């Protein structure tokens, strides 16, 4: 095993030899404040303006080797500076990872491992002057470590320019005798939507990202670089929303800028570039060295959605994201793994998502600050091992690995740098400090390449080249890290939530849009396309990307469009005013007209009330409004004669679609006639009954025995 390790190191050194000359400092520095004008210069009031960049021929060296420095001095004055010397100072090595910050903040300690001033003197004509210098990495002075180094340009002992980098020294024996540090780089592509709420593309921004010849062609550069290094093990966390938008461009699309709408045809360069990027992502997803991680549709903060009680939204975002990724990439995803947006997911969200949360999670280290156990794991050396999660009893065991916070901070520092080799050297130096914390242990580092860091193709390719050529680093997938690096024993970590979280002003507007969508979805048929478009916009407004990119106003426009669109559609439904009507009987029907101008059927509920009518079939009626005028006959029973009020309300859910109120006349004549006829019938019935009674009495007595009428009385 020792021989195999030595062979691997020798091969790496040989590979590094082919990269000459590799530049890895490249930082231009202006002369220090107050620097005096150098002697030998032509008399002038113009102060010297000298900038320096220096590079090295490798990103790391073995003790006993020699480094070649290439120093470039840019003289931006009209002066010629003579007798300029170069001095190299190598500082004492970093003791912790945090010590690297001093190199970026220009606050290096004044303690040196070596200082070397070169006898060779330079003459700086206006423009650039370049010279090579050698630096001996003697075994007596240097051991494994990251050494800050300063290169200075001196004239008469005054510093006129300087630049800072790092010198990484590593013994081949150290590398061969210890396990490599696994490095899982995750390229995360979430970004704000490139379409407006109506689904039209807002401009050329996404097309430019797909254009390899464009200065902003990030997606073209990313896919090209990753395909070039397809054997380097890494990870993709592709935004389903972004892939959906790219896929929507391939067959031609509509673009709206201001009031102007433009049709971009399927045979356009923009469509072809988008198709090329999707093709590259498809090939990468099918490459064994690349692991594709699932993601929710619009990259929401899943924990926040669950805490608001929007569990269904969180679950649907996940299922919709899976569907889009698998359709566009034409490749099934391993759903056992999940990197939630921003790495945030607490126990409640994991429980709510169930199997959608997977069994292996990539999480943010900020979650560790929420519990005593988590804070304990943050003490001391970097947490570079998986952690077992303390889930519900009977639930499947889950394991989490936490992203590296310092690498994320370093990415933020480097985001604006175009220095190809300086960026790479900084990353190698940071990872070397991590490796040297525990070189004898199996450890892993998960580095999220943030979606907002979009370096040039040259920087990206050089970073991949430098990382792959550093023998104590091993490019890995998340799966390889989780299954080869032992988890911390008896960890049982809980992930509590942040506490009671109420929707802020932003999410109160999103909640309003959700309510409007819920009402609208309940009143249209399932095949109506509008609810799906509105649902997409609600999901986009829930995205955490708007917060991360500081574009919340734009995010709210999607929620606002849903509210406006629902309002506009429902405004097309009307209960037109009706004149006074007359009912001729005790039981009758009240005619009611409802106009549906939407162009599609609408399901709603009619509610009735009156101060003189009752409703034998109930005071509510479920109706389906066809896209036309709809006439309804409402059965009523008259309880009060004269003028009464009739009110009708059309609503869906708790939303009123329309109201009407009019007078109903119940006729007095008809009521009196009914009473008279009823009275006459009662009298006739009574007389007939008396007659039957009298006949019955007469039949009970013989003739001659019946007393005659009392004439006096009868007359009277």
Residue-wise pLDDT for 94-110, tens only, equals 999 999 999 999 889 88
Cα–Cα distance between 82 and 447 in angstroms, integer? 46
pLDDT at 650 over 60: yes
Residue ranges per structural domain of the chain: 2-177, 181-493, 505-570, 573-666
Q: Which residue has the higher pLDDT, 304 or 671?
A: 304
Residues 399-440 have pLDDT tens digits of 999 999 999 999 999 999 989 999 999 999 999 999 999 999
Which residues on adjacent β-strands are paired with residue 589? Answer: 635
Select the more confidently predicted residue: 522 or 33. 522
Q: Do domains 2-177 and 573-666 have the same CATH topology?
A: yes
Q: Tell me the CATH architecture of domain 2-177.
A: Sandwich (2.60)
Model confidence at 6, in pLDDT bands (50, 70, 90)? very low
CA dihedral sign of residues 576, 578, 583, 586 = positive
Do 404 and 445 form a contact (C-beta atoms < 8 A)?
yes
Cα–Cα distance, 184 to 710 (Å, whole number): 128
Of the two residues 518 and 673, the one the predictor is more confident about is 518
pLDDT above 50 for 4: no
Cα distance between residue 208 and residue 214, in whole Å: 6
Q: Is residue 386 helix, strand or coil? A: coil
> Is 101 within 8 Å of 434 (Cβ atoms)?
no
As assigned by CATH, the class of the 573-666 domain is mainly beta
Report, as an integer, the average pLDDT of 624-634. Answer: 94
Reported confidence tier of residue 489, pLDDT bands at 50, 70, 90? confident
Regarding predicted confidence, which is higher, 194 or 3?
194
- Let me know how long the chain is: 716
DSSP-derived 3-state class of residue 158: strand
| % of the chain with per-residue pLDDT over 70 | 86
Contact predicate 62/16, CB 8 Å: no
Helix/strand/coil percent split, the chain, to 5: 35, 25, 35
| Ranges 12-21, 196-205, 537-546: which has the least confidence | 12-21
Run of H or E including 556: helix 552-570
Task: Please state, rounded to an integer, the average pLDDT across all residues of the chain.
Answer: 87
Q: What's the CATH number of domain 181-493, 3.30.1600.10, 3.40.640.10, 3.40.50.300, 3.20.110.20? A: 3.20.110.20
Using an 8 Å Cβ cutoff, are 438 and 432 in contact?
no
Question: Strand (E) positions, 233-300?
Answer: 234-237, 253-257, 260-264, 290-292
Distances (CA, A) of 702 to 680, 697, 699, 711: 36, 11, 8, 21
**Least confident interval from 128-132, 455-459, 516-520, 680-684:** 680-684
Average pLDDT over residues 138-142: 93
Measure Cα distances from 323 to 241, 314, 316 in Å.
11, 15, 10
CB atoms under 10 Å from CB of 660, counted, come to: 17
Rounded Cα distance between 525 and 202, Å, is: 30
Span 200-251, pLDDT tens digits = 999 999 999 999 998 889 999 999 999 999 899 999 999 999 999 999 999 9
> Whole-angstrom Cα distance, residue 649 to residue 522?
17
CA 557, CA 509: separation in Å to the nearest integer? 10
Give the confidence band of 20 by pLDDT, cuts at 50, 70, 90.
Answer: very low
Per-residue confidence (pLDDT) for residue 689, from 0 to 100: 62
């Amino acid at each position: 095993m020792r021989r195999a390790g030595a062979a691997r190191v020798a091969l790496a050194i040989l590979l590094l030899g082919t990269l000459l000359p590799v530049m890895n400092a490249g930082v231009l520095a202006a002369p220090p404040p107050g620097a005096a004008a150098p002697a030998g210069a032509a008399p002038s009031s113009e102060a010297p303006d000298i900038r320096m960049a220096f590079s090295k021929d490798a990103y790391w060296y073995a003790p006993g080797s020699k480094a070649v420095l290439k120093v470039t001095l840019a003289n931006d004055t009209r002066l010629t500076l003579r007798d300029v010397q170069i001095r190299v100072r190598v500082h004492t090595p970093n003791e912790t990872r945090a010590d690297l910050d001093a190199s970026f903040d220009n606050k290096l300690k004044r303690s040196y491992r070596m200082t070397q001033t070169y006898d060779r003197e330079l003459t700086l004509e206006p423009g650039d002057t370049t010279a090579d210098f050698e630096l001996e990495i003697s075994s007596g002075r240097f051991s494994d470590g990251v050494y800050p180094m300063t290169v200075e340009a001196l004239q008469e002992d005054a510093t006129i320019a300087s630049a800072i980098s790092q010198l990484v020294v590593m013994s081949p024996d150290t590398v061969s005798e210890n396990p490599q540090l696994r490095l899982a780089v995750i390229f995360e592509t979430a970004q704000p939507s490139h379409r407006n709420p109506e689904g039209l593309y807002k401009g050329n921004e996404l097309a430019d990202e797909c254009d390899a010849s464009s200065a902003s062609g990030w997606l073209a550069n990313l896919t090209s670089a990753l395909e070039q290094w397809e054997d380097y093990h890494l990870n993709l966390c592709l935004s389903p929303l972004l892939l959906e938008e790219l896929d929507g461009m391939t067959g031609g699309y509509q673009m709206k800028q201001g009031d102007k709408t433009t049709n971009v045809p399927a045979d356009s360069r923009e469509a072809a570039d988008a198709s090329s990027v999707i093709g590259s992502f498809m090939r990468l997803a099918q490459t064994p060295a690349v692991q594709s991680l699932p993601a929710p549709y619009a990259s929401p903060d899943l924990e926040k959605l669950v805490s608001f009680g929007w569990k269904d939204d969180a679950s649907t975002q996940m299922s919709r994201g899976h569907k889009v990724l698998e359709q566009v990439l034409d490749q099934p995803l391993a759903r056992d793994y999940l990197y939630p947006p921003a790495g945030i997911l607490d126990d409640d969200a994991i429980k709510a998502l169930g199997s959608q949360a997977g069994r292996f999670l990539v999480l943010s280290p900020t979650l560790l600050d929420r519990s005593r156990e988590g804070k304990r794991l943050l003490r001391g050396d970097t947490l570079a091992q998986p952690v077992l999660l303390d889930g519900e009893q009977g639930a499947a065991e889950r394991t989490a690995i936490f992203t590296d916070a310092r690498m994320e901070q370093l990415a933020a520092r480097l985001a604006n740098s175009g220095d190809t080799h300086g960026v790479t050297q900084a990353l190698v130096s940071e990872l070397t400090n991590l490796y040297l914390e525990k070189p004898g242990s199996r450890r892993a580092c998960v580095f999220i390449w943030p979606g907002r860091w979009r370096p040039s193709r040259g920087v990206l390719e050089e970073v991949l080249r430098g990382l792959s050529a550093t023998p104590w680093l091993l490019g890995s997938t998340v799966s390889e890290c989780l299954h080869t690096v032992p988890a911390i024993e008896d960890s049982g970590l809980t992930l509590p939530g942040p506490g009671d979280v109420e929707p802020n002003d932003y999410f109160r507007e999103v909640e309003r849009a959700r309510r409007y969508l819920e009402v609208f979805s309940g009143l249209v048929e399932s095949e109506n396309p509008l609810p799906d478009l509105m649902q997409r916009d609600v999901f986009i407004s829930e995205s955490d990307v708007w917060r991360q990119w500081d574009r919340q106003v734009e995010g709210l426009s999607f929620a606002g469009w849903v509210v406006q669109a629902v309002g506009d559609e429902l405004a097309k439904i009307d209960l037109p005013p009706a004149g006074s009507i007359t009912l001729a009987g005790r039981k009758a029907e009240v005619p009611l007209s409802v106009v549906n101008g939407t162009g599609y059927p609408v399901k709603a509920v009619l509610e009735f009330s009156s101060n003189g009518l009752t409703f034998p079939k109930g005071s509510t009626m479920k109706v389906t409004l066809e896209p036309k005028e709809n006439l309804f006959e409402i059965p009523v029973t008259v309880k009060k004669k004269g003028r009464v009020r009739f009110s009708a309300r059309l609503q869906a859910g708790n939303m009123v679609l329309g109201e009407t109120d009019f007078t109903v006349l119940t006729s007095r004549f008809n009521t009196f006639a009914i009473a008279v006829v009823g009275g006459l019938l009662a009298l006739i019935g009574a007389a007939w009954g008396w007659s039957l009674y009298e006949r019955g009495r007469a039949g009970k007595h013989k003739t001659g025995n019946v007393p005659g009428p009392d004439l006096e009385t009868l007359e009277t």
